[in-house]
Structure 1
Amino acid sequence: MATAQQIKTGYIDYVLTHDEQPKSVYSFVKKLKITESEFYQFYASFEGIEKMIWADLTIDTIDTIRQQEVWTQYSSRDRMLSFFYSYVEVLKKQRSFIVYSLKQPGAKFSTPTVLSGVKPIFENFAEELISEGVESGELADRKFLTKRYKDALWIQFAFIINFWVNDDSTGFEKTDEAIEKGINVTFDLFQRSALDNLFDYGKFLSRNSRFTEKMRK
C-alpha cells in the first residue's frame, strides 16, 4: 500500500534526477510500482505534491519554533525573526528541490503557484503575531492599516526566499543579514512613531476646535 510520503519522496527524486516532472502519472506510478488509484488517493496532480511539500515545510517550522522554551518570552518581532531563521535552516535540507521548484516556468512570486498553499498558513501565523503585538502595545494599532501588516510580511517572505535561492555566500550568511534587516525595518514601521503622535494630536485639536477658536479671539 502506497503512502503519501513514499509518493512525495519518489517525486522529489524523479524531478531532481531528470530536472523535469514525470511525463504522466501513469509512467510515474509504474516506476514506483503502485497504482494510479493509490496516487490519486493522496494527490490530484504533480503540482499538488509540490504545494503540499511547501505547506508541510511551513507548518513543521511553525510547530517547531512554538515548542521552544523561549517562545513565550519572545516579542512579535523576535518570533518572526525566529520563524525565518528556522525556515531557512529547514529549506537548506532540501535546497536542490526548493531551487528546482521556484525556478520552474510560472513559479514567480507575483503569481506563486507552488506557494499558494503556503500563503494562508503564513498569513494566519503573521496575523496571530500582529494581534499579540498590538495587544501588548509593541505594535501600533492603526485604523485601516493594521490589517495590511500581514501583506507587508508576505512581501518579506517572498523576498527572503528568493534572496536565499540566489545567495552564493558562505553558509548563506547574506540571507541571515537580509532576514535581520528586512524584518527589523518592517517591524519598525509597525511600531508607533512620531507621525502617529502628530496624527493623534491633529485629531485632538479637531475634536477640541472650539477651545482653539476661543484662543484666537
Structure 2
Amino acid sequence: MATTESIQKAYINYVLTEGQQPKSVYVFAKKNKMPEDEFYRYFGSFDAIEQFIWADLANRTLTEIKTQEVWGQYSAREKALSFFYSFFELLKSSRSFAVYSVKKQPKGFTTPAIFTGLKTAFENFADEILKEGIESTELSDRKFLSKRYKDALWVQFGFVLHFWINDNSAGFEKTDEAIEKGVNVTFDLFQRSPIDNLFEYGKFLAQNSGLKETMGFGN
C-alpha cells in the first residue's frame, strides 16, 4: 500500500530521472504499480507533492532548532540565524530535487504555489520571534513598519535560496556567508537607529509647536 512518504520518494525519483513531472497521475500510478485513486488519497496533484516537501523541510527545521537547550536564551536575531543555517543544512540532502523544483518555477514577483506551505510556516515563525524581539526592545517598534518586518525576512530567505541553488563553493561556504551577512543586515535595519531618533524629535516638535511662541521665536 502506498504512503505519503513512498509517493514522495517515487515522485522525486521520477522527476530527477526524467527531468520533468509525469505526463499524468495515471502514468505515474501505473509506473509505481498503484491504483490511481490511491494517489489521490494523499495528494491532489504533483505540485501538491512539492508543496508538501517544502513545507515539511521548514517544519522539520523548526522542530529541530526549538528542541535545542539554548533556544530559550537566543535573541530574535540568533533564532533567525539558527533557522536559516539549519534549513539549508537539511536541504543539502535534497539538493538535486531542490534545484529541479526551484528552477522550473516561472519568474515573477509572486510566491510560487509550491512554496505556500513553506511560506506559512516561515511567516508564523518570523512573527513569533519578531514579537519577542520587539517586546524585549531588541527590535524597534515602528508604527506601520513593524508589521512588514516578516516580509523583509521572507525576501531575505528567497534571496538565500536562489543564492544556494547557484552556489558552487565547497561545502556551500558562500551560502553560509550570505546568510550571516544578509540576516545581520536585515536585523540591523529592525533595530533602533538615528533615523528613529530623528522621527521622534520631529514628532515632538510637531506636538509642541506652541513652544516657539513662548521662547520668543514667533516672529
TM-score normalized by the length of structure 1: 0.96
Superposed displacement of residue 111, structure 1? 3.9
Question: Mean Cα displacement is larger for which, 25-34 or 57-66?
Answer: 25-34
Question: Mean Cα displacement is larger for which, 16-25 or 128-137?
Answer: 16-25
Which ranges in structure 2 are unaligned for 5 or more consecutive residues? none
Partner of 2:191: 191
Q: Deviations over 1:43-102 (max 9, x none)?
A: 000010001000000111011101111110100000000000001101100000000101
Q: Deviations over 1:144-164 (max 9, x none)?
A: 100000110010010000000
Number of residue pairs matched? 217
- SS of the residue corresponding to residue 185 of structure 2 reads helix
Say if 1:57 and 1:90, in contact at 8 Å, map to a contact too. yes
Partner of 1:157: 157
Q: Deviations over 1:97-118 (max 9, x none)?
A: 0001011152656442321221
From the superposition, tell whether residues 82 and 105 of structure 1 become closer, same or farther in structure 2 (CA, over 3 Å): closer
Partner of 1:211: 211
Partner of 2:201: 201
Q: Deviations over 1:137-179 (max 9, x none)?
A: 0000000100000110010010000000000011101000100
Partner of 2:94: 94
How do 1:1-217 and structure 2 match up within 5 A?
A: 1-106=1-106, 110-217=110-217
Distance (Å, rounded) in 1 between the aligned partners of 2:20 and 2:108: 17
- SS of the residue corresponding to residue 209 of structure 1 reads coil
Distance (Å, rounded) in 1 between the aligned partners of 2:23 and 2:211: 77
Which ranges in structure 1 are unaligned for 5 or more consecutive residues? none
Distance (Å, rounded) in 1 between the aligned partners of 2:107 and 2:47: 11
Distance (Å, rounded) in 2 between the aligned partners of 1:199 and 1:73: 32
Q: Which amino acid aligns with 1:156?
A: Q
Say if 1:101 and 1:107, in contact at 8 Å, map to a contact too. no
- SS of the residue corresponding to residue 104 of structure 2 reads coil
Identity %: 61
Question: Mean Cα displacement is larger for which, 197-206 or 141-150?
Answer: 197-206
Structure 1: which 4+ aligned runs deviate by more than 6 Å?
none
Distance (Å, rounded) in 2 between the aligned partners of 1:92 and 1:74: 25
CA RMSD of aligned residues (A): 1.3
Say if 1:58 and 1:118, in contact at 8 Å, map to a contact too. yes
